[in-house]
Amino acid sequence: MTTANPIRRPLIAGNWKMNLDLKASVELVRALTLAVPRGFQGEVMVAPPFTALTVVGEALRDSPIRLGAQDLFWEEKGAFTGEISASQLKDAGCWSVLIGHSERRRIFADTDAWVRRKLEAALKAGLIPVVCVGETLEERESQRTWRVLETQLKGGLEGFAPSALAPLVVAYEPVWAIGTGKTATPAQAQEAHLFIRKQAAALYGPAFASGLRILYGGSVTPENIDSLMAEPDIDGALVGGASLKADSFSRIVGFRSPAAR
Ligand code: PEP
């Protein structure tokens, strides 16, 4: 389980959060389309704010870069002011959706039960779900990292048919590393990714676990991406701040892969 699995195509995803107006969004993806290295064997995605999905999707029309959303609501339609459904995201051209980002959990009180419902809705609509998990600094310092990850994974992922869950991507994002400039060391990230893979094996079996893509997120930069991607259980990155500039994000996409990958 510690050898990089060729089935796991690297995925580099940019989470723009609540940044960029429409003009800047289109300029960024146009620049990215030109800058993303030719021959990249993996997948690249950007997740703009909801208001920019259609213009960014339009600008990406002939580009290999995929469109993602930052969140969704599990109901199909109805009186849910301010929310957006999986089918609306599909209709807007989305390929993927982030679920349970730590900012959603911390600021908007998303729970593991909500993550599970959102995951179910995303899968039903044919979106690639990227479920985010990760511990706070306090949890790490009090040796609760593994318990927290186990709770989040079980609470969010339990009870699906393994075949239905096949498109799942998990992002390990230690909260203390998000937007802080403080990255987990490659060894810390690898240890957590291996733990997540073992939890996935316990839930859904070794074949499912060895095919599961696990991204690292938390202050990923052009300077640290190569050493992170050299770890056998790191299959890509979820990038916040550094995804807002074409030069830094394209350098991350063009990470120097170890020969084995
Ligand atoms: C994120 O938003 O998921 C993230 C990892 O942000 P940053 O890269 O800025 O730490």
Decide if 101 is catalytic: yes
What share of the chain has pLDDT > 90, as a percent?
A: 90
Poorest-pLDDT segment among 7-16, 235-244, 251-260: 251-260
Task: For residue 223, give Cα distances in angstroms to 58, 77, 81, 242, 256.
Answer: 31, 43, 42, 11, 11
DSSP helix/strand/coil, 133 = strand
For the CA of 173, the closest atom of ligand 1 is: 5
> Could you tell me which residues are beta bridge partners of residue 171?
132, 215
Which of 220, 243, 249, 251 should be mutated for ligand 1, with most atoms under 8 A from CB? Answer: 220
* Mean pLDDT for all residues in the chain: 94
Pair of tokens at residue 158: 């339990």
Q: Encode 58-82: b = buried (16+ Cβ within 10 Å), e = exposed.
A: ebbeebebbbbbbbbbbeeeeeeee
Catalytic residue among 43, 103, 135, 173: 173
* Whole-number Å distance between alpha carbons of 178 and 160: 29
* Whole-number Å distance between alpha carbons of 123 and 168: 8
- The residue type found at 81 is T
Across 175-183, average pLDDT: 91
pTM higher than 0.75, yes or no? yes
For the CA of 220, the closest atom of ligand 1 is: 8
User: Phi/psi at 24 (nearest 5 deg)?
Assistant: -65, -35
